[in-house]
Structure 1
Amino acid sequence: DGEPPQITDVGFIESGDCSFYIEGKQVVTIVYRQDPVWNLYPIDKLPADQELFLKGFRWEGARRPSQRDVFDRRIRPTLRAEKSALPHPSFPLREALEQRKKSLSEARRWSDRTDQVDAATVEWMRSLGYEVGQSRESGPAL
């Protein structure tokens, strides 16, 4: 409706950690962590003993660094060509295992496992955060 929002409540939050997400110089989201304790009061029912300012906080604007103090905007030349020319690491054990697997596969003495895992093992693996790529006995296929 074009009218500025009317402020009706005041919130007080104590938290061990928080993150502010800013877009276009406006705070769009605040995430509080570590069991925040919060109270929300209507402005006309604010307790007389409620602190209105953060205890011990003192704004020191003169000490605030400028953007130039914080960020070095010099553009460095790329090192991509030099870094790409460096030798890549080799992993002899892995290469030997892959070669052995290839020779066993060609001799028909190697096959990847395709056996089914029991439901208890699937549940245990999911509890660890793994997605098990086999169909379940009930429910939709994965």
Structure 2
Amino acid sequence: MSERVEESDPGLEADVFARDCASRPVLHNVTGRWGVLALVALREGPYRFSALRRRVEGVSERMLSQTLQALERDGMVHRAVLEAIPPRVEYTLTELGAEVAERLEALIVVLESNIDAITAAQAAYQPRHAAE
């Protein structure tokens, strides 16, 4: 069993199941509703904020901004201010972000390719649990 990571001792092995492990909030940022979609969208290449918002349908400006800030802080996303008039900002994946996004995309592929089985399971679940 791995040791629990305390915030005061960054040298200990990470254990996401430990309450105080530094990896837990990062997992939350990456696997949150908008984190997954932003990371996988950025696998397609650099995006400006407005283009990324259009790509990730349904995300508000505020939520996308917060998501990108968290992912940048965690070392997953790089924010570059490009010299132009007006100034442009582009987001790209870091090496770590690219690795994480690749694995998230694999999960998305599994889900999308099994959507018929998933919807069948959901439909079967409804009648069994309607009386509860």
- What TM-score results when the alignment is normalised by the length of structure 2? 0.26
Greater helix content:
2
- What TM-score results when the alignment is normalised by the length of structure 1? 0.25
Greater strand content:
1
